Each structure stands twice: as C-alpha cells, then as structure tokens.
Amino acid sequence: MYKWMIIKALLYILLAPVIGGLMSGLDRVFSARMQGRQGPPVVQPFFDVNKLLHKQTTVVNSIQVLFVTVYLIFTIFTGALFFAGGDMLLVFFALSMSEVMLVLAAFSTNGPYSIMGAQRELLQMMCYEPMTLLVAIGFYYANGSFMVDELITKPVPAIVQIPGFFIGFVFILIIKLRKSPFDLSTSHHMHQEMVKGLTTDLSGSNLALVEIAEWYDTVLMLGIVGLFFINNNPISRLWAIIAIAVVFFLETLIDNLFPRVKYKTMLIVTWSVILVFAGTNLLILNVLK
C-alpha cells in the first residue's frame, strides 16, 4: 500500500510541473483569444522559466532564498500528500504553511512593493482559509473520511451532497489562482500600481522557483476540484476532467471580465459567499444527518 502511495506521489512530482505549465500556457492563449489577440504559444511558460533559470540571480538578502526554497519544497510536499491519498485537513494545513513562507520571503526584502504584496497576500489567505478548511469538512460530512484515498472509493460523488462547498471553492479559486478581481497581491500582468507585488524583489532562479511552485499549486487546486466528482466508477474520472476544464475556463473568463477590487470588498464578498453557500450547505447536511 505504501508502495502505491509513493509511486503516486512521485508521479505528481514529475508530471505536475508539466501539466501546470501547460495550463498556464493555455490560460494565456484563452485570455489572448478573448481579447482578440493571437497570444503566445502554449509552451511559452516553459520558455519563460527556462530563461529565468539562466539569468543571473540578484537577491536583496540571503534569507529570501531560503524562504523561497522552503516554499517550493512544501508546496510540492502538500501536493504529493494530496495525490498520494493523504489527510485533507493536513493537506490544507501544510498548504497554508507553505504560503506563509512565500509571504515571509516578501517581508524579508523590506521593499515597499514586496511588503504591500505580502500584506495583501496575508489578507487573501484570511479570505480563503475558512473555505479550504470547510472543503475538507464537507468531504468528511459527505463521505465520512478525511483521507483522499478513501474518498475516491465511495459510491456517490461528493458533489451530490456538497454543491454549496463546490461553489464556495470555485469562488476562492479566483484568489488562489491569482485571477482578477482578486489578484491583489501580485498579478500576472505587470506595470500596475503594485508593480509585481509579492514577487517584486525576486529575480532570476528565485522567481523561477516561485513560478514552478505555482504550477504545482494549480495542479493541486484543480485536483481538489476533480475530487468533488470522483467515485468508485472509473468513468467518473472523465467527468472530473471535464469539470476541471470547465472550472479552469471559467476562472480565465472571470479574470478577463472583472477589474481588480479593493481589499475590503474582497473580504466581505468572499466571506459572505463562503457563509451563504458552504455554511448553508453544512447546516442542511447537519440537519439531514
């Protein structure tokens, strides 16, 4: 059993950056087509990261590198834990820990844009943290386990019982995938009031590490989206992939439709959405139980 877990984790570690990079490329193509542009080739993100890796790295201080490295390692660890079939709650705890490391990397630079990005990133975490924990709880309510490898063997997919949690989760994915209107801390589009926010003072291979970590993170997040649809029937995996594609497209669409909002709006809106959809869903489940 342990052997299978390790193999699954290794597969994630090897394949996730490829898939994540392609997703990121697809995202850029989608966006370009929505805006009536040709857009870059799908593999552009790989070229970018490759270039970053070969540039001379300048750092503001030496701790910065340490934090970024820990961030990458723990992001990979988190994803590997999820795809190996680990405990959902532990996955989310480890995830917020790795995010804190990225924030600390930004804090350590003492640059105004980095620190502004770091504060905003923390606020973003405060916005989505309740929902990530609730997702784990929702799966537990629906299928009676926190372990991913047990959740995928249940007869009924979780989405049937916890649609509210799904809506809430897709909503906070806007924050997680750094999409407008909630891309407060750093955006994929440069030259704005916050420069590059969180990653302003990262360069060269450090920035490449952050990019790679985000690919891993994207795959993890979309994996959770898929988990809502998977049951013991192999065909359900196809549904999961379709759902992932739809959600990913939706996120890109939202990114292109809405301008960035202020942090207060983000806090009020996300917490209300979580409370209304996931909270109500939780109450109903509790009554039915």
Q: Which residues bind another protein (CB under 8 A)?
A: 56-67, 69-70, 73-74, 77, 81, 86-87, 89-90, 93-94, 96-97, 100, 103-104, 106-116, 118-119, 122-123, 125-127, 129-131, 133-134, 137, 140-141, 146, 195, 200-201, 204, 264, 267, 271, 275, 279, 282-283, 286, 289
Residue whose CB is less far from another protein, 116 or 162: 116
Show the tokens assigned to 191.
């030259």
Residue whose CB is less far from another protein, 3 or 264: 264
Supply the minimum distance, in Å, between the C-beta of residue 180 and another protein.
21
Supply the minimum distance, in Å, between the C-beta of residue 238 and another protein.
29
Residue whose CB is less far from another protein, 106 or 243: 106
Supply the minimum distance, in Å, between the C-beta of residue 211 and another protein.
17
The single residue listed with the structure tokens 């669409």 is: 253
CA 52, CA 55: separation in Å to the nearest integer? 5
Residue whose CB is less far from another protein, 22 or 53: 53
Supply the minimum distance, in Å, between the C-beta of residue 127 and another protein.
7
CB 39 within 8 A of CB 28: yes
Give strand pairing partners of 87.
Answer: 147
CA dihedral 76, 77, 78, 84 (to 10 degrees): 110
CB 72 within 8 A of CB 99: no
Specify the DSSP class assigned to residue 275.
I
Tell me how far the alpha carbon of residue 141 is from its chain's centroid: 23
133, exposed or middle or buried, with CB in 10 Å at 0-12, 13-18, 19+?
A: middle
Supply the minimum distance, in Å, between the C-beta of residue 125 and another protein.
6
Residue whose CB is less far from another protein, 86 or 157: 86
